[in-house]
Amino acid sequence: MTRKLFGTDGVRGTANSFPMTAEMALMLGAAVGRYFRNERGGVHRVVIGKDTRLSGYMFENALTAGLTSTGMNVLLLGPVPTPAVGLLTPSMRADLGIMISASHNPAADNGIKFFGPDGFKLSDTVEAEIEALVTSGVRPAHPENIGRAKRIDDGRSRYQERVKSTLPSGLRLDGIKVVVDCANGAAYRTAPEILWELGATVIPLGVEPNGLNINDGCGSTKPQKAAAAVIENGADVGICLDGDADRIILIDEKGQIADGDQIMALMAARWAEEERLVGGALVATVMSNLGLERFLQGKGLRLERTQVGDRYVVEAMRKNGWNLGGEQSGHIVMTDYATTGDGLMAGMQFLAEMVRSERPASELTRSFIPVPQLLENVRFSAGQTPLDNTAVKTAITDAEKQLVGKGRLLIRKSGTEPLIRVMAECEDPALLKQVVSGIVTEVQAVI
């Protein structure tokens, strides 16, 4: 079955525009409630978390109405990181978990992500079946079977204790000064509290959400403010999270920015030394740098690539039993600890290595020299299909010919935003710029 509502990470779009309307959230809530309840006996629960977007209130209420109409009892967590929903869904014996968030997107956007009873994101097949229920409509529960809703006050603290427990026993962060940028998002209280409780000196940024400033000039997509704060305060490291805290970008003591590829390289090498890296494999997407692949090969390890989307990384990990994966954008998945990407847990692993090795962040975030990589995004309007245009296809074919034996090209539509992403890698910077700009020019001409 095909999916029209769902992208690479749930349903996402601009609030109050299709598909992110209150009416659609109501229908999605009823559909997913019916799918997971499916007339089975007993008590049925769903946990719902959200980030700090203003529209989160609207979608929380709409989803709750749809879910309770099919007999699901709703447990409302309030603002929590996405991985907290993945953790609490099975621990609270819920039938499913829902996170209301558009992750790194602007405040005007929002999204709805679904987790199964095992805490993992739903498969494409299940999402297609839920879409079919949205289209066909669902039968509501009998009046006496309508569900209830209540607030859960300790969800955030339970998650915080889980994150802290991922540090090696007895390890403390005393003496480490950390700038943490929470993007005015879901971890605005969680991240600073965890770091302080573990002994770090904390300089918090992006901890004053107002519903409209999430990811606004801050967080993992805009780490420059945090980089400046690291230099200004003489900090040892900077941690930048996105709006729902499932991804991380690091900043060393010199203000240099390190992406997910460098974090994964460090962790894979360390875990391999400790004989913790299952199968000698790291799972990443087609976006990860060729330099990461070469680094792993030099260590006798493998890079297993998937399509873009942390859920596809997790699917490959579960299928093959691998326990470490992620994305260049900063999703780091450690299935020994969590069911989805977790920026805070990844940050804990990095800080633990700083303490263990007594090496500065600048050394730990430079495991390999990246192959020059250029990514440009071109925004398009609804209904447009620029990649189907003949001139664009010709430009892509010509670029691929120029890169044979010299690099690689990746063109794709974003699964979370109306963007065409044009990415290329090449040892020759001039050729790299030429091929990317040529394709971008053709796409812009079409739209």
Closest CA to 277 of 335, 202, 191, 361: 335
Fold classification of 373-446 (topology level): TATA-Binding Protein (3.30.310)
Q: Read off the tokens for 399.
A: 């670029």
Average pLDDT over residues 329-338: 97
Q: Is the peptide bond before 19 cis (omega within 30 degrees of 0)?
A: yes
- Assign domain 260-342 to its CATH architecture: 3-Layer(aba) Sandwich (3.40)
Catalytic residue check, 329: no
Arithmetic mean of pLDDT over the chain: 95
d(CA 89, CA 93): 6
Closest CA to 249 of 308, 189, 206, 293: 206
- All CATH 3.30.310.50 domain ranges of the chain, comma separated, are 373-446
State residue 39's pLDDT score: 55
- All CATH 3.40.120.10 domain ranges of the chain, comma separated, are 11-153, 260-342
Q: Is 154 annotated as a binding residue?
A: no
Main-chain phi, psi angles of 408, to 5 degrees: -145, 160
Average pLDDT over residues 388-413: 92
Lowest mean pLDDT: which of 35-44, 102-111, 396-405, 420-429?
35-44
State residue 9's pLDDT score: 87
pLDDT higher than 70, residue 379: yes
d(CA 403, CA 201): 48
Q: Is 244 annotated as a binding residue?
A: yes
Active-site option among 55, 69, 101, 103: 103
Helix and strand tally (H, E) in the chain? 14, 18
pTM equals 0.91
H or E element, residue 306: strand 302-306
Q: Are 192 and 181 in contact (CB under 8 A)?
A: no
Fold classification of 11-153 (topology level): Alpha-D-Glucose-1,6-Bisphosphate; Chain A, domain 3 (3.40.120)
